[in-house]
Amino acid sequence: MDELLEQLVNDCMGYTKEGRVASYIPELSKVSPDALGVYMIASDGKHYGAGDHAAHFTIQSIVKPILLLQALLDNGIEFVSARVGTEATGKPFDAINVSEQRLDSENLNPMVNMGAIVMCSLIHGDTYQDKIRRVLELTRRLAGNREIDIDEAVYASEKAYGSKNRALAYLLKSYGLLEDPVEDVLECYFQACSISVTCKDLANIGFVLANRGRTPGANERVVPAAYTQYVNAILMTCGMYNGSGDFAIRVGVPAKSGVGGGIMAVVPTRMGIGIYSPALDTKGNSVAGIQLLEKLSQQLYLSIF
């Protein structure tokens, strides 16, 4: 398996030239665009890795399923789904795309920024420091890594250049979808996006989602199986943003991307996979990362379809 992964890294390295690293904040534009790494944890407990799998990068949007899990643990499915919907487009079957859409919770999902910002407000905690501490703790438990922490430089950059996310949050507030003060909610969101991880961390988190809520090895329960089913379904339909349909065809497993260059893939009952390659396509997904996952899926028959 290690050989197969090495081979795939070599085969896909060239695709890093076809993307660009995220530049919406200065701190992310500093990374080297040609890195590519993969780490895999299989259901027999074996670990495999190749390429730049030990590199640290920020989790970015891959924290969205973790925010959703924490909100579910704190409030249950009924409460959460009433506040942020689960539909990929949020539009009816005969929608005319040019029309102005009303913003309501049914038209959001937890994998886009607005939905994830609402998740931050649903997570329990007396202060926003408490909330982010609980998100960090859940991330460490899912990844089986106590050392996971926030990248302070990326966090400072997110906060300083977060005008778009601020605009989204104020819009949510004006539609009555956010109860708490906007800047407090954003504090949690910016810090959550800035959690520093490796491919191995993402593979571990993906494994728990693939294994109905239990960790590899110790088989310890971190979250109820019903919540992994909820999260995986949303990852399948919304996890790669407006590239989710194409990804479902080419790779065929629930996954989440982040603009830091990570992809976490969940192969139900079989494995968790973590990818790092920071050159992104125009939708914000890792170009070489998707190529590698597509080839891996073909070789190991991973598609659930």
- Which residues are at the interface with ligand GLN (CB under 6 A)? 60-61, 113, 158, 165, 193, 258-259, 284
Looking at residue 14, its amino acid is G
Q: State in angstroms the smallest separation of the CB of 53 from ligand GLN.
A: 20
Catalytic residues: 61, 64, 189, 241, 259
Edge-first strand order for the sheet with 57-58 is: 57-58, 195-197, 149-150
Selection from 58, 111, 54, 90 nearest residue 238 by Cα: 111
Q: State in angstroms the smallest separation of the CB of 220 from ligand GLN.
A: 28
Selection from 60, 48, 51 nearest residue 32 by Cα: 51
Q: State in angstroms the smallest separation of the CB of 216 from ligand GLN.
A: 25
Choice between 111 and 251, CB closer to ligand GLN: 111
Q: Which residues pair with 272 in a beta bridge?
A: 41, 266
Q: Which residues pair with 274 in a beta bridge?
A: 39, 264
Choice between 37 and 258, CB closer to ligand GLN: 258
Q: In a 3-state reduction of DSSP, which class is residue 45?
A: coil
Choice between 167 and 226, CB closer to ligand GLN: 167
Looking at residue 105, its amino acid is S
What tokens appear for 8 in the block? 């795939």
| Residue 295, Cβ density class (10 Å: 0-12 exposed, 13-18 middle, ≥19 buried) | middle
Q: State in angstroms the smallest separation of the CB of 285 from ligand GLN.
A: 8
Choice between 48 and 190, CB closer to ligand GLN: 190
